[in-house]
Homo-oligomer: A and B are copies of this chain.
Amino acid sequence: MSRDPADPTDVTDRVPPEAAEDLEDMALREDYALAPEFVAMVIDAADRGDAERLRELLDALHPADIADLMGFLSPDYREEVIAHLDPETMAEFLSELDNEIREEVLEHVPSDALAKALGEMESDDAADVVDDLEADKRAQVLAAMPESERIAIETTLSYQDETAGRLMQREVVAAPQFWTVGQTIDHLRSGRDDLPELFFDVYVVDPAYRPVGAAAVSQLLRAAPATPLAQIMDPVTEIPVDMDQEEVAYIFDKYHLISAPVVESGGRLVGQITVDDIVGVIQEESDEDILALAGVSDAGRDAGVAGIVRSRLPWLVLNLATETVAVSVIGAFQAEIEKLVALAVLMPIVASLGGNAGTQTLAVAVRALAARELNAANAARIILREMAVGVMNGAALAAVMSVAVYLWFHDPGLSLTVALALIINVFVASVAGILAPLALERLGRDPAVSSSIFVTFVTDFMGFLSFLGLAAMILL
Contact = CB atoms under 8 A, between A and B. Distances in A.
Interface in A86-115: 96
Contacts of A286: 282-283, 286-287, 289-290
Contact of A313 (B65, B253, B364, B393): B393
A250 interface: yes
Nearest to A332: B345
A351 B217 CA distance: 59
Given A62-B255, A218-B199, A312 B363 contact: no
Contacts of A258: 198, 200, 258, 275-276
B344 A337 contact: yes
A160 interface: no
Contacts of A34: 372, 375, 377
B316 A375 contact: no
Contacts of A400: 317, 320
Contacts of A217: 200, 217-218, 221
A389 B199 contact: no
A14 interface: no
A396 interface: yes
Contacts of A366: 290
Interface of A: 29, 31-36, 39-40, 62, 64-65, 68, 71-72, 96, 185, 188-189, 191, 195-200, 216-224, 247, 250-258, 275-276, 278-280, 282-283, 286-287, 289-291, 293-296, 299, 301, 304-305, 308-309, 312-313, 315-317, 319-320, 323-324, 326-327, 330-331, 334, 337-338, 341-349, 351-353, 356-357, 359-360, 362-364, 366-368, 371-373, 375-378, 385, 388-389, 392-393, 396-397, 400-401, 404, 426, 456, 460, 464
Contact of A341 (B338, B359, B375): B338
Given A257-B276, A282-B286, A312-B360, 9 more contacts: A34-B377, A62-B255, A256-B279, A295-B356, A305-B389, A320-B397, A320-B400, A330-B345, A352-B456
B283 A275 contact: no
Contacts of A254: 32, 64-65, 68
Contacts of A375: 29, 33-34, 36
14 contacts: A34-B372, A39-B377, A71-B373, A188-B221, A199-B218, A256-B279, A258-B258, A275-B276, A278-B279, A290-B363, A291-B364, A295-B356, A304-B385, A315-B356
Contact of A32 (B247, B337, B363, B456): B247
B352 A345 contact: no
Judged by DSSP, the binding face of A is: helix
Given A323-B348, A345-B330, A377-B34, A280 B253 contact: yes
Contacts of A282: 279, 282-283, 286
Contacts of A294: 293, 359-360, 362-364
A294 to B, nearest CB: 3
A268 to B, nearest CB: 21
A39 B392 CA distance: 30
A20 to B, nearest CB: 13
Nearest to A195: B222
A35 B294 CA distance: 31
A71 B401 CA distance: 37
A121 to B, nearest CB: 13
Nearest to A274: B258
A308 B72 CA distance: 42
Contacts of A359: 294-295
B290 A352 contact: no
B324 A348 contact: no
Contacts of A247: 31-32
B327 A348 contact: yes
A327 to B, nearest CB: 5
A29 to B, nearest CB: 8
Contacts of A352: 319, 323, 456, 460
Contact of A363 (B296, B338, B377): B296
A250 B218 CA distance: 26
